[in-house]
Every structure is written in structure tokens, then in C-alpha cells.
Amino acid sequence: MTRHVCNVAAAAVLSAALVDAQAPAPGAGAQATKAEGTVYKNKAPVNKEILRVSLPKPKEADLSNGVHLIVLEDHRTPQVNFSMIIDGAGGYYDPPAVPGLAGFTASLMREGTATKSSEQISEQLDRLAASVSVGAGISSPSATVNGSGLTNNLDTVLALMADVLMNPSFPQAEIDRYKTRSRAGLMQQRTQPGFLASERLNKAVFGDHPLARVSATPAALDALTRDTLLEFHKTHYVPDRAVLAVTGDITVEQAKAKAEAAFGAWKKSGAALPAQTEAAPLSGPTISLVVRPNSVQTSLRIGTQSIERKNPDFFALTVGNRILGGASGRLFEHLREQKGYTYGANSGFASSRIPGSWTASTDVRSEVTDAALTDLIDEIRQMRETPVTEKELADAKRAIVGSFARLLESPDAILANYIDQHFYQLSADYWDTYPAKIEAVTAADIQRVAKKYWTPERLQIVAVGDLAKVEPALKKLGAVQIFDAEGKPIEK
Amino acid sequence: MFRPIRAAVVTALFAVVSVSAADGPQVKFTDVKLKNGLRVIISEDHTAPTVSVAVNYFVGSADEKARRTGFAHLFEHMMFKGSENVGAGEHPALIFANGGTMNGTTNQDRTLYFETLPANQLELALFLEGDRMKSLDINRANLDNQKGAVQEERRLRVDNQPYGQTFEKTGEQAYDNPAYKHSIIGSMEDLSAASVDDVATFFKTYYAPNNAVLSIVGDVDTKKTMALVEKYFGGILRQPDPKRPDLAEAPHTAERRSTIEDPLARLPRLDIVWIGPPAQTTDSAALDVLSDVLSSGRSARINQVIVREKQLATSAALFASDSKGPGLITAFATVAPGKNPAEVEAAIYDEIEKVKKGPIADWEIEKAHNGARRNQAAQVTSTLSRAIQLGEYAMFFNDPNLINTRTEKILKVTAADVQRVAQKYFTKENRSVILTMPKAAAAKGER
């Protein structure tokens, strides 16, 4: 049932802004007195023992057409989830002139097959409370066809999933509808400061590389034809490297038999997948301002290239990033708790076969843009220049290792780890040895990776907000490139 | 020591419950009250080594006094600023550092605090929740500090968002009763005016054990857990039961309507709300099915007709809220570029009239029934969602077993029931309409 509970405080935790809320004079925050931040009384009964778990192992098999099957049984509830992950069908492989083609293809596969209209598919699934969906990330190498339903409807769901996967017909009327709807979406996303920030930051970090893409373009949408869709589907939706991930009330034997029956007609192409290439190395720091009229906040981002998933620095960067920008990390503690500039501040990174991005983010009220940006840069500098404290290191490691227990509530989350293991060719004992590798990280390791990846020469700064309030703060740091909310450079 | 208040349910803890594919798994639990009035619900689930703890306090924005809007939510922030044995910010820091997650959230009817942890940290969670229920640290510095935090939250969620002001105006225009009329985040003026005395009084009145439900779900032993609950909560003093707000909304006699200009928006948006019934009533079950017919999945009528066929809106939906009192039934549509908002509005009313007149196809009712069955099955995977639901059902309806029986109510709903509630609630007098226009566009094309 649809629920609408108004949770304005869904992420409400805490803050320490000593701002006089009764007289919020312009710039008041900039003069805010520093508050104490977290106080430890150390009286709570913490169990010193970390509850160690080993993740249940999925069962694996191969289908006759080369699809690799990974199954994690979970018989608590009478439902099953299938995910066919098709390596090579994601936006990473979009032709450079048509950014978004993989996404268009995925969205439109669900809009009709050789034998069924979009309405018929929807009606058949909805009446069973089942679902089939297709998605392709704008810069991801893979696309995914998902199907889920109650156990007793499984055969229907699988048949529809296979039909959508293998026989999409891309009706012209659906393409036209999709174009109209998507054009509005491309316009609407420009109202979101977070979108404008990602668009600019990804360009600064990745240049012309596919990882720079955050969205399709109106031009690509306009140029879209049925033939382009049919061609992309034929070339990229092949079983050669696909993985079928299954969780739920089913055994591996049942899953294999049902998958053979549903997907057996899907034939191998034999074509090799072009390798992914890394983005060109960063040539220096940049500072960008995206002007968003009527903004009352400045969205600040500092980003750079991170590392590939198999890089041995992954563990040190994971722990170091948590100390800097994880839950109750330094950014939260200092920018929110002590200074009161923002409701939230955090950092995170992405790693795949190739290095993804690392980003520190916070949205602050416009008046404190200068002070908040100075502090954000300074927090990153301190990670390079000073070893983290023993308490920070111990807490971060406990947090990461301890959180493994919670994974056991969700078979889908566990399986996601094994899908990573498969796609990134991680060692067979990777998840068994993961906690030990996290626990082996030292303060010196963290400082070493901070110096390696978070050097000033690599850091790209982006601010989205009010021109008059943001530009002076940015200019203090160097030359500023200015863009409008359409992403176009503004000449001054 | 513990007074069982639902003997039948306590017994059920030991009963073997059969599970069929159609019914979904049943949630077993114990339900007792401490002498100080704290209601404690425990549900053992040993499938994963985790535990979720939820504390629901029966106070929300509906309880706020005049000129103190936003107070319940501001107070929620105060709950993380320390107590007798816990430093400011120490609560979240300890939860995170031990592999857990936690948060707090406020709505019109209740304020909820929760954490999920590895099961061996159960005592930590109970200590932290017990200490702040008993001895919250209320002082000027913490209060000023949290007013600042709420200001930033308001900017992030309302003032810097397209349609942010629309969401605030919706309740203001739709309700006469002050309980649900004002926004949960409240006005900055009211927040600024809140005093330390206000906070202390609020804490004493509403954060009393007899005004709360503690629910615990996960890999725990019920008896040992009760001993810990007694240790950390047993000594907290009972207070007089707070007066519940009158949530009743007198019948409306005329449609309400306004237009807002929004400088952050690029497309017009239409929000239509009707005053609906309280949750967990016969009418609310029928309205849940009605909203499935109109809006659940791609096959639903509003999507098929208004978004796909007529292409009047880029997105559109209808949903009923789940409130203790008369919640809102909301229909919204983002108007497609170049389309007339009046035409979108008329199309929504057309679809509603078709439901009133019928027919409603069997498959549409079947869809709603199967959706309820699927939800029932899905709830078993998360200990946190069960803890929250058990607590809310106990607090609002004195019936935590609704977690097992609510699906039955949906399965009983027929097409005739759906038509009856459509006729009852979707009247012109009962509706309130807000049209939000992008500011630049509105200036150019005055209509």
C-alpha cells in the first residue's frame, strides 16, 4: 500500500551550530563561535567483542549459453528476485555522439515485445504484484534486467523477463512518448543543485571520458531512432558475459532448470567486449562555479579520481575515507557539529574495473560559503599532514567490521558482494579475509593514501549557488570558470 | 513485575504458526507493560545476528501549541545532545563505531528513535535509549545549537528545493484544525521563540515512559532482554498521561484553491488533496485499494491515461496517507511542457469519476490484494521495519498484532467498497487545490 509519512527529519541527527537563531543577521554563521562537538563520557556498556560473522556462500552454476548463475537461497519469505546483469550493455559503451543510448534502450525494452504491448506487460505483472524492469547506468559498463515476484508466480515472471530481454520491439509510438517525457525530465533535473554539481564535477574529474557522463542530452534524445535502438540491443544484449543473480525461496537446481527454460534461446554472440580504459590523468586543480539563481545554499564539492577496485590501497582508502567523511566523521563533526554551517557533510568514493571518483560534499547556507570551503579544504589537508588518532582508527575499523553482521539481514546485500567478486575477479576468499585486511590498516597507511590521492594538484572544486555570494570565496583560491544552470560557460 | 496486557499474544509466542505462500510469515511477539507504564514489545528472530530497537513517543507536530510550531521536531534534535551518562553526540558515535545505524524522525503523530546493531550490542542500545528518556540534558547552549541545525535542515529540504513551499502550503490550505494544519518543520519565528522552560516542560509531559512504546526485534532472548529493559527503564518515573490533541476536522463546505509562484521550479505542478479517514479504518483499507487502482504500478489508470495516452503530465500519482487522524489523500501531477494545467486537473477528476461510476475490473482488485500479500511477505527481511510497525500499531491503535492482520483487511475490500469511499471522499467541497507555476513563466503568461 502507498504510504505517505512526512519525515522532515528523516536524517535528523545532531548539530552544534552556535548561531543565534533569534537574530540570523546576514553572515552571522561566519562569526559563529566554535562549539565543542562530540563529548565522550565513556559510561555506556559497550560489548568489546566484535560480533564476527562469515557471509553465507552462494551456489554457482553455468547455463548452456554461458550465463553465469549465482544463487543465494533465502526461504524466510515466499518470493524470489532475479537480476540478469549484462556486461557491455551499460552507458559506458554509449557511442560518444549519443550519450544516453544504453539508458534509452533499457527504458524502452519494457515498452513492448514481438507479442505483447507495454500495457499487456504492465497489467500481467501488476495483477500478480510482480515486477520486471530494465536499467542501465549512464556510465556503468552493464545493464540489468530485474524480475521479482511471489514464488507461486515465478514462471510467469521469468517468461516476461525473458521476453523483454530477448524480443523487445521498440514500437515507434512508445519511442515518441518516451522522448516527450524524457525531455521534460532533462529540463527538471536542472532545478536540482545536486545534479548541477555532479555534472560539473564529473567533467572536471574525468574530462571527455565516459565516466564524466551524468545524463543523456536533449540532442541525443532528439536523434534517437528505432533502428539505433534495435542495433544497440542486438549488439550489446548478449549472454556471453552475463550473470544471473538470484535470491529468495528457490534452490540452485530449481533456478538453473527454470533459467535454462526461460533464457535457453538467448544465443552467444562470440564477440569480445572492448576493454574499459582509464580516464586521462588529472592535469591540475580547477575551480568551477555553477550559477543557480535564487539559491539560498551553496553546494560545495571537492572531487578527484580514485582507484580501481583491485588496487591494494582500497582498504586504507576505505578506512581513511570513513574517518574523514563517514557517519560521525570529521567533516560531519567539524562542519556541522562544531561550526554549524550545514545539515550534513560527507565523502565517498567509487571503484570499478577502472578508477572512479572520490568526492567530499556539503550544502551550506550561502553566507558561510567562504568559511565552509576553507574548512573543507583544511580537513583534507589534515588527512595528508597528520596521522589519524588511535581512537579514530579503532572506531572506523570496528564500524566497518561490525557492520558485516547487519548484512546478514539482507540476502540481496550479501549477493551484491559476490557479484562484485565475480565482476572484479577478486580472490575466492576475498570476503572471508576482508575484515582482517581492514583491521590491518594503520594510521601511516591512511596518511600515505591521503598524500597520494588527495594532493592539492589533484583536487577539483565545484560550487553551485548564488553568483554574488559564491564568486568572491572561490576567487581567493585561483582562477574560476563560471557556468550557467544549462552547463554552458559564462564569459565575463 | 511485568503486566501482560495482551494475554492472547503472549501465548502465541510459543505457538507454531503455519506459513503458507498466500498468507506470508506471521510475526510473533510478547507485549507487556512495566510498572511505570512503558509498553515493551519483543519479537525474537534468530535468522541474523542483529537487533533493532525502536522507541516511539506519542507526540508529534499535532501536539504543538499555538506559536510553537516545529517544536516536536526541534525536540527530536535535542535528544542527541546528551543525558546524565551520555555526552553530546556520543549516542550516534557509539552506535556507528560498533557497526550500527541509527536515526530519529518526527511526523504529525509521533516521534521515533531507532537503531540497528549487531545483536551483542543490545545492552548498549537499551542503555542509550533509557538514559535519554530518564535524564535528557536540557540547556540553553544545546537548544540554540539545535535551532541552528533545524534552520539548515529547513533550507536544505524546503527553501532551496523546487516545490518546497508547495508542500508547506498544502496542509495550511487544506486543514482548519491547527493539529495537522502547520508544517512539521515549523516556522522560524516559532522555533526562535522556544525557551529552555518550554523544552523542559515538553520533555516531562511527553517523554515519559507511559507515553512511549519500546519495541525490540532480532536475535535476542525475550527473558534476558526484559531484565535489561527493567534495569535501564524501570526506574524512570511515570507522569500524568498527556492530553491527546483533537484531530477532528469539521466538514468543509467549499473547495479551496490557490496559485503559488516558485522561482526554483521549471514546470507547473498541480497538487490536489482531499481530507481522508484515519488509518486502520474500514474506509482507509478501501482507500488503499482505490489508490492502487488509480496509481499503483504502470498499469494504473492515472499513469495509463494521463501520463501515457494523453501525455498531459510527465509524472502523476495518487496516494492516501497513513495518519492517526484524518490524513490527506493526495493527487499530484507535473504538467508536461506546453500543456494546460486546467486540462490535467480535469483529467484527474475524470479518472476519479470513472471509479465512482464503475466498473472496476476484477484484475484491478486482484492487483491490490496481491500487492498486500507481497508487502506482508517483504516485511520479514528487516528487523527495523518490524520494530517500528509493532511500536506504531501498539501506540496508535493499541493493537501491535495489526502487523499480522492488516493484510486481511485489504483482502476483504471489494469493488463496491472502493466505489463507496470514492463517492464519500472525492467531493468538490472536500478538496483543496494548489497550482505551482514557475515564476518566470507565470510572469510571462498571465492566464
The pLDDT tens digits of the residues spanning A370-415 come to 999 999 999 999 999 999 999 999 999 999 999 999 999 999 999 9
The answer to whether B89 contacts A43, with C-beta atoms less than 8 Å apart, is: no
3-class SS of residue A7: coil
- What is the gyration radius of the CA atoms in chain B, in angstroms? 23
Enumerate the CATH 3.30.830.10 domain ranges in chain A, comma separated: 59-263, 286-483
B290 shares its domain with B194: no
B343 Cβ contact list (under 8 Å, min separation 6): B312
The answer to whether B311 contacts A9, with C-beta atoms less than 8 Å apart, is: no
| Cis peptide bond N-terminal to B359, omega within 30 | yes
Of B94, B107, B299, the CB nearest to A6: B107
Q: How many CB pairs under 8 A join A and B?
A: 341
Q: Which residues of B touch A14 (CB under 8 A)?
A: 77, 80-81, 88-89, 92, 146, 149
Cell numbers standing for residue B209: 515512559
Q: Which residues of B touch A463 (CB under 8 A)?
A: none
B318 shares its domain with B419: yes
B171 shares its domain with B295: no
Q: Which residues of B touch A73 (CB under 8 A)?
A: none
Q: Which residue of B has its CA nearest to A189?
A: B266
- Domain around B103: 3-233
Which residues are paired to B213 by β-bridges? B39, B56
Q: Which residue of A has its CA nearest to B78?
A: A14
Q: How far is B240 from chain A (nearest CA, A)?
A: 28
B398: left (phi over 0), alpha (psi -120 to 50) or beta: left
Residue B320 in any domain: the answer is yes
Look at residues B250, B199, B248 and name the one whose alpha carbon lies nearest to residue B65.
Answer: B199
Of A35, A76, A151, the CB nearest to B145: A35
Q: How far is B185 from chain A (nearest CA, A)?
A: 7
pTM of structure: 0.92
The answer to whether A15 contacts B321, with C-beta atoms less than 8 Å apart, is: no
Residue A61 burial (CB count, 10 A): 16
Q: Which residue of B has its CA nearest to A174?
A: B308
Q: Rounded to a whole number, what is the distance in angstroms from the first to the last CA of chain A?
A: 53
Q: How far is A462 from chain B (nearest CA, A)?
A: 18
B191 shares its domain with B299: no
Q: Which residue of A has its CA nearest to B96?
A: A399
Q: Which residues of A touch B380 (CB under 8 A)?
A: 76-77
B201 shares its domain with B289: no
Q: How far is A333 from chain B (nearest CA, A)?
A: 9
Q: How far apart are CA B209 and CA A78, in angstroms?
A: 38
Print burial letters for B390-412: b (CB count within 10 Å at least 16), e (below 16): bbbbbbbbeebbbbbebbebbbe
Residue B244 in any domain: the answer is no
B221 shares its domain with B305: no
Q: Which residues of A touch B185 (CB under 8 A)?
A: 8-9
- CATH number for the domain harbouring residue B395: 3.30.830.10
A325 Cβ contact list (under 8 Å, min separation 6): A331, A332, A345, A346, A347, A348, A360
3-class SS of residue A149: strand
Letter for the amino acid at B156? L
Look at residues B207, B256, B215 and name the one whose alpha carbon lies nearest to residue B236.
Answer: B207
Q: How far apart are CA B362 and CA B370, in angstroms?
A: 12
B193 shares its domain with B284: no
Q: Which residues of A touch B137 (CB under 8 A)?
A: none
The answer to whether A47 contacts B151, with C-beta atoms less than 8 Å apart, is: no
Percent of chain B past pLDDT 90, that is, above it, reads 82
Residue B331 in any domain: the answer is yes
A191-237 residue pLDDT tens:
999 999 999 999 999 999 999 999 999 999 999 999 999 999 999 99
Q: Which residues of B touch A185 (CB under 8 A)?
A: 314
Look at residues A185, A241, A253 and name the one whose alpha carbon lies nearest to residue A218.
Answer: A185
Spans of chain A, pLDDT less than 50: 1-34
Q: Which residues of A touch B153 (CB under 8 A)?
A: 8-9, 12, 343
Q: What is the DSSP letter of A112?
A: B
Last residue of a domain, one of B170, B200, B233: B233
Tell me the C-alpha to C-alpha distance, in Å, between residue A148 and each of A374, A423, A473. Answer: 48, 23, 50
Q: Which residues of B touch A35 (CB under 8 A)?
A: 141, 145
Max intra-chain CA distance, chain B: 71
Look at residues A11, A424, A41 and name the one whose alpha carbon lies nearest to residue B105.
Answer: A11
Of A24, A38, A402, the CB nearest to B99: A402
Spans of chain B, pLDDT less than 50: 1-22, 441-447
Q: Which residues of B touch A294 (CB under 8 A)?
A: 263-264
Q: Which residue of B has its CA nearest to A336?
A: B149
Q: Which residues of A touch B145 (CB under 8 A)?
A: 15-18, 35, 340
B175 shares its domain with B36: yes
Most A CBs within 10 Å: which of B53, B96, B266, as the mutation test of the A interface? Answer: B96
Q: Which residue has the cell 553465507?
A: A56
Q: What is the pLDDT of residue B66?
A: 84
Sheet strands side by side (includes B50-57): B3-4, B30-33, B39-44, B212-218, B50-57, B111-118, B101-106
Q: What is the pLDDT of residue B381?
A: 78
Look at residues A140, A76, A130 and name the one whose alpha carbon lies nearest to residue A106.
Answer: A140
Q: Which residues of B touch A295 (CB under 8 A)?
A: 160
Q: How far is A123 from chain B (nearest CA, A)?
A: 5
A391 exposure class (CB count in 10 Å sphere: 0-12, 13-18, 19+): exposed
The answer to whether B299 contacts A152, with C-beta atoms less than 8 Å apart, is: no
Q: How far apart are CA B130 and CA B239, in angstroms?
A: 16
Angle made by CA atoms B418, B422, B427, in degrees to the nearest 5: 175
Q: What is the pLDDT of residue B146?
A: 81
Q: Which residues of A touch B319 (CB under 8 A)?
A: 2-4
Q: Which residue has the cell 552571522?
A: A28
Q: How far is B3 from chain A (nearest CA, A)?
A: 27
Q: Which residue has the cell 583534507?
A: A380
B240 Cβ contact list (under 8 Å, min separation 6): none
B148 Cβ contact list (under 8 Å, min separation 6): A15, A17, A18, A19, A21, A29, A32, A340
Last residue of a domain, one of B174, B198, B233: B233
Q: Which residues of B touch A250 (CB under 8 A)?
A: none
Most B CBs within 10 Å: which of A409, A434, A466, as the mutation test of the B interface? Answer: A409
| CB-based contacts of A358-361 (< 8 A; 24+ apart in sequence) | A358/A303, A358/A304, A358/A305, A358/A306, A358/A317, A358/A321, A358/A453, A358/A454, A359/A201, A359/A301, A359/A302, A359/A303, A360/A301, A360/A302, A360/A303, A360/A324, A360/A325, A360/A331, A361/A197, A361/A299, A361/A300, A361/A301
Max intra-chain CA distance, chain A: 71
Quick check: A306 and A355 in contact, CB under 8 A? yes
Q: Which residue has the cell 574548512?
A: A375
Tell me the C-alpha to C-alpha distance, in Å, between residue A285 and each of A204, A452, B34. Answer: 9, 15, 61
B158 shares its domain with B295: no
Q: Which residue of B has its CA nearest to A9?
A: B105
Of A184, A405, A406, the CB nearest to B336: A184
Looking at 3.30.70.980, 3.40.50.150, 3.40.630.10, 3.30.830.10, the CATH number of the domain A286-483 comes to 3.30.830.10
Cell numbers standing for residue B188: 522560524
The answer to whether A123 contacts B299, with C-beta atoms less than 8 Å apart, is: yes
Q: Which residue of A has its CA nearest to B21?
A: A78
Print burial letters for B253-285: b (CB count within 10 Å at least 16), e (below 16): eeebeeebebebbbbbbbbbbbbbbbbbeebbb
Q: How far apart are CA A278 and CA A275, in angstroms?
A: 10
ipTM of the complex: 0.90
Q: What is the pLDDT of residue A64?
A: 95
Quick check: B322 and A5 in contact, CB under 8 A? yes
Residue B439 burial (CB count, 10 A): 16
The answer to whether B297 contacts A125, with C-beta atoms less than 8 Å apart, is: yes
B220 shares its domain with B290: no
Q: How far is A24 from chain B (nearest CA, A)?
A: 9
The answer to whether B118 contacts A296, with C-beta atoms less than 8 Å apart, is: no
Q: How far apart are CA A171 and CA A173, in angstroms?
A: 6
B10 shares its domain with B140: yes
The answer to whether A395 contacts B188, with C-beta atoms less than 8 Å apart, is: no
Q: In CATH, what is the architecture of A59-263?
A: 2-Layer Sandwich (3.30)
B141: left (phi over 0), alpha (psi -120 to 50) or beta: alpha
Residue A357 burial (CB count, 10 A): 23
> Based on the structure, what is the number of domains in chain B?
2
Of A9, A21, A337, the CB nearest to B106: A9
3-state DSSP of chain B: CCEECCHHHHHHCCCCCCCCCCCCCCCCCEEEECCCCCEEEEEECCCCCEEEEEEEECCCHHHCCCCCCCHHHHHHHHCCCCECCECCCHHHHHHHHCCCEEEEEECCCCEEEEEEEEHHHHHHHHHHHHHHHHHECCCHHHHHHHHHHHHHHHHHHHHCCCCHHHHHHHHHHHCCCHHHHCCCCCCHHHHHHCCHHHHHHHHHHHCCHHHEEEEEEECCCHHHHHHHHHHHHCCCCCCCCCCCCCCCCCCCCCCEEEEEEECCCCCCEEEEEEECCCCCCHHHHHHHHHHHHHHCCCCCHHHHHHHHHCCCEEEEEEEECCCCCCCEEEEEEEECCCCCHHHHHHHHHHHHHHHHHCCCCHHHHHHHHHHHHHHHHHHHHCHHHHHHHHHHHHHHHCCCCHHHHHHHHHHCCCHHHHHHHHHHHCCCCCEEEEEEEEHHHHHHCCC
Q: What is the pLDDT of residue B187?
A: 83
Of A8, A328, A333, the CB nearest to B157: A8
The answer to whether B311 contacts A363, with C-beta atoms less than 8 Å apart, is: no
Q: Which residue of B has its CA nearest to A392?
A: B97
The answer to whether A12 contacts B104, with C-beta atoms less than 8 Å apart, is: yes
DSSP A266-326: -----PPPPPP-PPPPP-S-EEEEEE-TT-SEEEEEEEEE---TT-TTHHHHHHHHHHHHS
B75 shares its domain with B219: yes
Q: Which residues of A touch B299 (CB under 8 A)?
A: 119, 122-123, 125-127
Q: Rounded to a whole number, what is the distance in angstroms from the first to the last CA of chain B?
A: 69
Which residues are paired to A474 by β-bridges? none
The answer to whether A1 contacts B410, with C-beta atoms less than 8 Å apart, is: yes
